[in-house]
Amino acid sequence: MKRILIIFIATMLASCDAREVIPHFAKTSDIYGLASVVWLSGTETEIILKHYFMDINRIDSIVAPKLFNVDIAPDNAAVWLKAKNDDIPKLSELKVWVNGVGYSILMRKSRKQSVEFTYQPKNKQPKTVQLAGQINDWNPSKTNLEKVGHVWKTTLWLNPGNYHYQVVVDGEWILDPANPDIEDNNIGEENSVLRLAGSNPNLLPFIYTTSTKGKKIHLGFQNAVDELFVYWENYRLGDEFVSINGSEATIIIPANADGIKRSHIRVWAYNSEGESNDLIIPLEKRSAVTATSQLNRSDLYSQIMYSLMVDRFYNANLENDQPVNDPDIHPKANYYGGDIAGITQKIEDGYFDSLGIRTIWVSPITQNPLGAYGLYPTPRTKFSGYHGYWPISSSKVDFRFGTSDDVHRMLAEAHKRDINVILDYVANHVHQEHPLYKNHPDWVTPLYLPDGTMNTEKWDEHRLTTWFDTFMPTLDLERAEVYEPMTDSALFWVTQYKFDGFRHDATKHIPEVFWRTLTRKIKE
């Protein structure tokens, strides 16, 4: 049977026009999924190839446009591109050859503009001058001006747009005396406004599908197109697959797609004004998907997501209800009784199907403390852990939400109805009752800063170390002995329960090494 199948495929490809076949094609892609687009950053950009390719040791060569100087790491783990000048196009392509197969990664030119900001004191010279605004999350310490003669200066790199800001002179926040452009800040005061012009949206290229029949997809354009980028999976299609006639284009789907249940065509374009919108067209073998009935939960680019908080969704099992018995907790800050069985019941009832939902995002379900913590002034109340974001375990299901069997049943019922379920996972911090903190108190960041002040809620100044509250230690996730077990704990929920993915809590406050480690483990 296998021999017959091989002969059939060979005959099928032979019957196609040879120009409709990608000759150097890997049956198993060296890239996991569709390669994400690279945003070039200023004059020099690092592209971490091990984030794209499953085995960097298989990389043969790397080809970048001639407008870049290229430096490749000895182990192929990364490549550095340095622009020779500012004439690089809005879109370009990095070609990476792996075992004789050429993969294309799209690159976008940075839209950021260089802006020189100056402040000239009218009277005595200040000791410090800073900027605070939408350019830096209103954090003056991020933008310090340098004194040059009698003028204070700094250079900003900003995307086009309008930015509210103030000048901070020796700690005093003032409007920019050199900028007459002022707007209300909606809380009774005013801010200076920096306006940076960008592209004219009326002149940007707009691309859209007009029709599809068999192996061909037809596109239309609004406004001029300088260059069109058409990818099938991670292969850029050349002139033998893409033809342009004025404001129209025709794409021939490669014959290689015939043997694949689901693949994708992706399209981008640009002109002198800027980039177009982008298209992603799902294929079923060698034809474009034209009906929603052809899509399923594996089509991640077409998902409609429903977010829910387990405790507040639906109570199907009254026996596991256990609100915290503490008069200091306002009823609305206590457990309501929603549980995993409630989610399952609504899946079985067809509630999510009736809304067209294909992915459910559930709040954390790990065990949370039994007591009350925190304090809110108005209305005065403590809080229970009804929300799930105070883990005292990274692997146990909170008994107030259900059991491990309840989780398995929920996932089985969801998958039976072609619905994904992703789990909200807390990695940034633990509750003080968590065994990890009790056994390894040195695995967390310091609660106090060197100046003796408490490092809580300093979201911008100390985003990787600040604690959310005094009873929620932030994990020092830049240390291998901390991020290794925490990424293993995250992976546990996929391997043990078959969750379809994660929503990561407090992303801003977690270092990149955690994300890179977890991503690698998931791919492996």
Q: Which of 523, 513, 461, 444 is nearest to 491 (CA)?
A: 523
Say if residues 474 and 445 touch (Cβ distance below 8 Å).
yes
- The residue with greater pLDDT, 445 or 139, is 445
Per-residue pLDDT reduced to its tens digit, 369-415:
999 999 999 999 999 999 999 999 999 999 999 999 999 999 999 99
Secondary structure of 64-122 as H, E, C letters: CCCCEEEEECCCCCEEEEEECCCCCCCEEEEEEEECCEEEEEEEECCCCEEEEEEECCC
- Angle 209-213-214 from CA coordinates, rounded to 5°: 130
Cβ neighbors of 136 (< 8 A, separation 6 or more) are: 142, 143
Residue 307 amino acid letter:
S
Kindly report the pTM of this predicted structure.
0.89
Quote the percentage of the chain above a pLDDT of 90: 92
Contacts 24+ apart (CB under 8 A), 405-409: 406/339, 406/340, 406/341, 406/344, 407/340, 407/365, 407/497, 408/497, 409/344
Predicted local distance difference test score (pLDDT) of residue 42: 80
Predicted local distance difference test score (pLDDT) of residue 123: 85
Predicted local distance difference test score (pLDDT) of residue 17: 65
Alpha carbon 190 to its chain centroid, in Å, reads 33
- The residue with greater pLDDT, 356 or 5, is 356
Average pLDDT over every residue of 159-169: 97
Q: What is the DSSP letter of 7?
A: H
Predicted local distance difference test score (pLDDT) of residue 2: 38
Strand partners, 248: 220, 245
Per-residue pLDDT reduced to its tens digit, 170-220:
999 999 999 999 999 999 999 999 999 999 999 999 999 999 999 999 999
What number of residues does the chain have? 524
Average pLDDT over every residue of 355-360: 97
Q: Write down the CATH number for the domain with range 305-523.
A: 3.20.20.80
Residues of the chain with CATH 2.60.40.10: 113-198, 202-289
Q: 279-284 and 305-308: which strand pairing?
A: unpaired
Predicted local distance difference test score (pLDDT) of residue 6: 40
Specify the CATH class of 202-289 in words. Answer: mainly beta
Per-residue pLDDT reduced to its tens digit, 315-347:
999 999 999 999 999 999 999 999 999 999 999
Predicted local distance difference test score (pLDDT) of residue 43: 85
Whether residue 18 is predicted with pLDDT greater than 80 in this model: the reply is no
Alpha carbon 365 to its chain centroid, in Å, reads 22
What ranges make up the beta strands (E) of 204-245? 206-213, 216-222, 227-232, 235-236, 242-245
Rounded Cα distance, 392 and 372, in Å: 13
Per-residue pLDDT reduced to its tens digit, 448-470:
999 999 999 999 889 999 999 99
- Classified as helix, coil or strand, 162 is strand
Q: Which residue has the tokens 């992303």?
A: 507
Inter-axis angle of helices 480-497 and 512-523, nearest 10: 40
Indicate the burial class of 3 (C-beta count within 10 angstroms; 0-12, 13-18, 19 or more): exposed
End-to-end alpha-carbon separation of the chain, Å? Answer: 32
Whether residue 498 is predicted with pLDDT greater than 50 in this model: the reply is yes
Q: Write down the CATH number for the domain with range 113-198.
A: 2.60.40.10
Say if residues 434 and 472 touch (Cβ distance below 8 Å).
no
Say if residues 248 and 210 touch (Cβ distance below 8 Å).
yes
Per-residue pLDDT reduced to its tens digit, 75-106:
999 999 999 998 999 999 999 999 999 999 99
Predicted local distance difference test score (pLDDT) of residue 16: 54
Say if residues 205 and 271 touch (Cβ distance below 8 Å).
yes
Rounded Cα distance, 222 and 211, in Å: 16
Two tokens at 492?
């546990």
Two tokens at 510?
């977690």
Q: What value does the mean pLDDT of the chain take?
A: 95
Average pLDDT over every residue of 49-64: 95
- Classified as helix, coil or strand, 15 is helix
Q: What is the DSSP letter of 513?
A: H
- Angle 392-398-401 from CA coordinates, rounded to 5°: 150
Per-residue pLDDT reduced to its tens digit, 232-252:
999 999 999 999 999 999 999
Cα-based distances in Å from 247 to 11, 226, 239 = 37, 11, 16
